[in-house]
Structure 1
């Protein structure tokens, strides 16, 4: 996941953008670990993965006051 956009209230549209990541013209491998991070209050609108990790998924429950949880994994570049 390389981007996210949302319009409107909790009933609005959310769009996620996926893409490939390249470093020095070499495609990196994203390894999805199926590890879900800490649940956050959606009003905070912030989440930071552990060091050397990337966001690989997101789930949310409820309205703007509901909870959001992010899934993370790591990337492999040239082995």
Structure 2
């Protein structure tokens, strides 16, 4: 009797294992909730002061009205993933590029957190980027794109949705065009 009970139990377990192996995979996890919260705005004299976002923030907007002596405004935001603040690890300043023909793109999956400009359009510009982590996992920046052209001396640009700044291109003097590179914050898996 005992042997038969074990055989029946073993058969039941085998059948259950076969059913679970054949069962469809569970639906993928719900999408991760990502939010960019603007938490700091600052107006600086770019030709004198380099600008870097405060701790754990990335650039989300820039505006400039006037020539190279006019101030520039920046906005920085926290990246919140599932309501938790992501960690931003700031790197060094890039090598300088002549502003009148500058074209900068951050390395893959890095956001811009700072800009340093010296002089007028014949001066030089540097950028500062950062990697972003959440729960020990590298945050990815995907679906990168470039904005429409803005007249440098009369514009405001702001990333939309889960977008952050990943680069900038400028041609000419303050009346020349500026374009912004941006990408959306995502996490793998």
Counterpart among 114, 125, 143 of residue 57 in structure 1: 114
**How far does residue 3 in structure 1 lie from its aligned partner after superposition?**
1.6
Paired positions, count: 78
**How far does residue 59 in structure 1 lie from its aligned partner after superposition?**
0.6
Tell which has more relative contact order, 1 or 2 (C-alpha 8 A, sep 6+): 1
Q: Give the superposed CA RMSD.
A: 1.7
Query: Which structure has more helix as a fraction of its residues?
Result: 2
Residue-by-residue CA offset, 1:23-60 (whole Å, 9 max, x unaligned)? 34332111112x12232221235321111211121111
Sort the Cα spacing of 1:45 and 1:26 in 2 relative to 1 into closer, same or farther, 3 A: farther
For normalisation by structure 1, the TM-score amounts to 0.81
1:66 aligned to 2:123? yes
Bigger Rg over Cα: 2
State the partner residue of 2:79: 21
Residue pair 1:21, 1:27 contacting (<8 A) in 2 also: yes
1:5 aligned to 2:63? yes
- Give, in whole Å, the separation in 2 of the partners of 1:31 and 1:43: 29
Residue pair 1:29, 1:77 contacting (<8 A) in 2 also: yes
- Give, in whole Å, the separation in 2 of the partners of 1:24 and 1:8: 40
